[in-house]
A = this chain, B = another copy of it.
Amino acid sequence: MNYNAISALFTVLLSVLIRLQVSGQVHTEAVTDSGAIFPKGKRAPTSTFTGVVWVQQLIEPDSAFNIPVGYVTFEPGARSYWHSHAGGQVLLALDGIGYYQEQGKPIQILKKGDAVKCPPNVPHWHGASPTVGFRQVAITPNTATGRVTWMKPVTDQEYNNVRK
């Protein structure tokens, strides 16, 4: 094998290596994107959410299905206002890092695979961590008793009061 042949092989190997590295980057993004199972939907109203939040309604309530189901994407730092549900709510954590707090209790960290029951009429809020976004499914049962009662915003002090 002469010098030119080795040099040519070297060049080919180098280009394959670069291609693999690029495709490796694409892979990493795909892993991140794979959390977005449902369409991101529309921007949530700034009158009840702080920061950038997206809501896609998956199931609209009707006479047979009294359970609205929504898919909510919180960008880092975003969160709901304090609120309560007369019929309670179920949260399924799909991706990212979420915060969930019931009034009078410490903030609870939510991760992919967590399922939470927000009890009826208990004021609470949920959102993303400051650095990592959060994706959840929210199921609201017993809508006959009322769907949601909105309260005041979650202050920065409340939001940052995470037990380390």
CA distance A115 to B39 in the complex (A): 11
Say yes or no: B17 contacts A66, CB within 8 Å: no
Interface size class of A (residues with CB under 8 A): 35 or more
CA distance A23 to B88 in the complex (A): 44
Stretch at the interface among A2-10, A43-51, A97-105: A2-10
Say yes or no: B10 contacts A142, CB within 8 Å: no
Say yes or no: B92 contacts A65, CB within 8 Å: no
Which one of A17, A39, A69, A139 has the highest number of Cβ atoms from chain B below 10 Å of its Cβ? A139
Complex interface residues of chain A between 51 and 84 (CB less than 8 A to chain B): 58-59, 64-67, 69
CA distance A69 to B138 in the complex (A): 12
Nearest B residue to A94, CB-CB: B37
Say yes or no: B113 contacts A88, CB within 8 Å: no
Q: Which residues of A contact B (CB under 8 A)?
A: 3, 6-7, 9-10, 13-14, 16-17, 20-21, 23-24, 27-28, 30-31, 34-35, 37-39, 58-59, 64-67, 69, 88, 90, 92, 94-95, 112-113, 115, 117, 119-120, 137, 139, 141-142
Q: List 22 A-B contacts (CB under 8 A).
A: A3-B6, A6-B10, A16-B17, A17-B17, A20-B20, A20-B24, A24-B27, A37-B112, A38-B92, A38-B115, A39-B113, A58-B92, A59-B115, A64-B119, A64-B120, A65-B88, A66-B142, A67-B139, A67-B141, A137-B137, A139-B139, A141-B141
